[in-house]
């Protein structure tokens, strides 16, 4: 028998907060497609979700027709302002690069308009699953993986550019597993079916940093964690993080963080407590054995 809370959740509609970033202000028309299954609310002009009055939304829907830098920067600001609320990005003008950017920016779902009936149904089903998890009473229970709504449109998914980005994402996963080992950029480019030049350019385009900088950051993050939490010698920390030359480890660490590994460890340790000079109580004195 279902509890009253479960019954209430099953009857509740997801609350969608819509931000109209279209040039022709056509969001009301798009919202109409979802009103039967969802509680749709249009955000105030230039208003962010955290400032919007009323019940907190279950989903933020950002509607673009022709995305521009101003609108995409607003999406990032919304993500920072309300990180716990998932975002769906609806767009008429779309590209493979835009879809990759959206996923990298933490968008929960990216949908190209106009929506096919099947795609809309899959989105609503996925949205309902997500909301049921968010409405669960036990916030600490293990939540199953939510299957996201649909794949990217074929016009994006089947392009050569998308396939290259997909191969590059596999390379990033490989780096994340093996960054403590020696990784040759030429070999990795060959794994992706690219020239080293093409690999290097796409890598920086996708992640915002170069290949060597990405590997260095991964190693530095691990080195800092080891310095904070292990008792190993500083040199051993460097070896464990993937730095085979202690001198290079020290130079690179100081260049990145402004101090040597030893100085970083000393600064991260809490100061020792001050010894009290107050006399001990009688019952705190050690017992002395009689001769």
The whole-angstrom distance between residue 123's C-alpha and the CA centroid of its chain comes to 21
| Predicted local confidence at residue 282, as pLDDT | 44
Q: What is the pLDDT of residue 192?
A: 80
31 preceded by a cis bond (ω within 30 of 0): no
- What are the average pLDDT values for consecutive 10-residue runs of the chain, which has 291 residues? 52 91 92 95 66 72 90 87 90 88 88 91 91 64 46 46 65 86 88 85 81 89 86 88 90 88 79 45 39 38
pLDDT of residue 84: 84
What confidence score (pLDDT) does residue 165 get? 64
What local confidence, expressed as pLDDT, does residue 289 receive?
38
User: Which residues lie across from 15 on neighbouring strands?
Assistant: 39
CB contact set of 7 (below 8 Å; sequence gap of 6+): none
Rg of the chain in Å (alpha carbons): 27
């Amino acid at each position: 028998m279902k509890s009253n809370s479960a019954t209430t959740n099953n009857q509740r509609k997801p609350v969608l907060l819509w931000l109209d970033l279209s040039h022709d202000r056509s969001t009301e028309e798009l919202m109409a497609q979802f009103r039967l299954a969802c509680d749709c609310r249009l955000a105030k002009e230039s208003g962010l979700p955290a400032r919007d009055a009323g019940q907190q939304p279950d989903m933020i829907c950002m509607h673009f027709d022709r995305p521009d830098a101003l609108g995409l920067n607003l999406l990032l600001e919304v993500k920072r302002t309300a990180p716990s609320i998932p975002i769906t990005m609806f767009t008429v003008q779309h590209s493979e690069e835009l879809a990759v950017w959206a996923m990298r920016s933490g968008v929960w779902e990216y949908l190209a308009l106009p929506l096919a009936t099947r795609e809309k149904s899959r989105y609503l089903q996925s949205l309902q699953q997500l909301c049921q998890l968010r409405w669960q009473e036990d916030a600490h229970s293990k939540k199953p993986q939510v299957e996201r709504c649909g794949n990217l449109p074929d016009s994006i998914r089947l392009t050569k550019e998308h396939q290259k980005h997909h191969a590059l994402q596999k390379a990033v996963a490989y780096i994340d597993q093996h960054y403590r080992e020696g990784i040759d950029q030429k070999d990795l480019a060959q794994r992706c079916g690219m020239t080293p030049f093409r690999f290097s350019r796409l890598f920086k385009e996708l992640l915002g940093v170069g290949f060597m900088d990405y590997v260095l950051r991964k190693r530095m993050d691990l080195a800092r964690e080891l310095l904070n939490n292990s008792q190993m010698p500083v040199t051993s920390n460097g070896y464990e993080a993937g730095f085979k030359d202690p001198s290079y480890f020290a130079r690179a660490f100081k260049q990145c963080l402004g101090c040597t590994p030893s100085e970083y460890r000393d600064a991260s340790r809490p100061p020792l407590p001050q010894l009290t000079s107050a006399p001990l109580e009688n019952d705190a004195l050690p017992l002395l054995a009689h001769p």
